[in-house]
Structure 1
């Protein structure tokens, strides 16, 4: 008996991604962030500092593409950019306490919305879905390009 066909991954993930991004936009606007600004704040995580190049690589952005985003976040007091003592041409980027507050509040609000969507799944399915999505995300992050 032939195996039942399933939709392609992109056919399933793309509409979900669009819905999630549409739901995030009001949260980002309320917190004064763009999608790239939020990506930078998330990318900084809890590490003390990143070089601009390392941060760009981590969030899959061209390092020149995020300069304007970094300028805006720095002007708002959400990040610091200091010269790298080991390489004066490089800048070390770190979150300020205000940046951590904005990042954490934004992430909490976004994840509250995500939880509403995920609540449509039984608990075991939700945990398996999130675990699998995390593994796929990590596998893709390790691939070049």
Structure 2
């Protein structure tokens, strides 16, 4: 390869597609959509958000996420309450059942990830996870070079 490496996106994209595909049967088994899991995951880390802030955080259009929130609320996985300071806004919080479902899905997903990560020597695996955590925490502006 002439001392050159492949672009990060060229290396990450196929891995991401395969990991997402591996998650689909797990999500189906637990009765969740990918967006439903993304919402529960975001709420598990920050249990109360406005719908607008949640949509922005997960990179979803706030009008398109309503159906996902409705489904999760109907399944008792999250609850929405009106913001007393702004009646147009709603707070979204994960329920105990939502947290249980999220944790079960995450455990099943990570069981497969552990199998994949086992392909790396232990030191490389630890370095990969640390590096991935550091890079994924970068603000978009740093990646875009703004």
Please report the RMSD computed on the Cα atoms of aligned residues, expressed in angstroms: 1.9
The residue that corresponds to 1:108 in the other structure is 107
The residue that corresponds to 2:8 in the other structure is 9
Q: Please say if 1:27 is aligned against 2:26.
A: yes
Q: Pairwise mapping of residues 16-55 of structure 1 onto structure 2 (< 5 A)?
A: 16-55=15-54
Q: Aligned pairs, how many?
A: 144
The secondary structure found in structure 2 opposite 1:6 is coil
Q: CA deviation at 1:144?
A: 9.7
The residue that corresponds to 1:90 in the other structure is 89
Is 132-141 or 107-116 further displaced after alignment?
Answer: 132-141
Is 54-63 or 111-120 further displaced after alignment?
Answer: 54-63
Per-residue Cα deviation, 1:9-33 (whole angstroms, up to 9, x for no partner): 1221111111101110000000111
Q: CA deviation at 1:111?
A: 0.6
TM-score by length of 1: 0.92
The residue that corresponds to 1:56 in the other structure is 55
Query: Runs of at least 4 residues of structure 1 off by over 3 A?
Result: 140-145
In 1: Cα distance, 2:138 partner to 2:58 partner: 14
TM-score by length of 2: 0.91
Question: Quick one: structure 1 residues 142 and 85, their matched pair in 2 at CA, closer, same or farther if it must change by over 3 Å?
Answer: farther
The secondary structure found in structure 1 opposite 2:137 is helix
The secondary structure found in structure 2 opposite 1:4 is coil
The secondary structure found in structure 1 opposite 2:138 is helix
User: Structure 1: where are the runs of 5+ without partners?
Assistant: none
User: Structure 2: where are the runs of 5+ without partners?
Assistant: none
Q: Pairwise mapping of residues 61-76 of structure 1 onto structure 2 (< 5 A)?
A: 61-76=60-75
Question: Quick one: structure 1 residues 142 and 115, their matched pair in 2 at CA, closer, same or farther if it must change by over 3 Å?
Answer: farther
The residue that corresponds to 1:118 in the other structure is 117
In 1: Cα distance, 2:87 partner to 2:141 partner: 29
The residue that corresponds to 2:127 in the other structure is 128
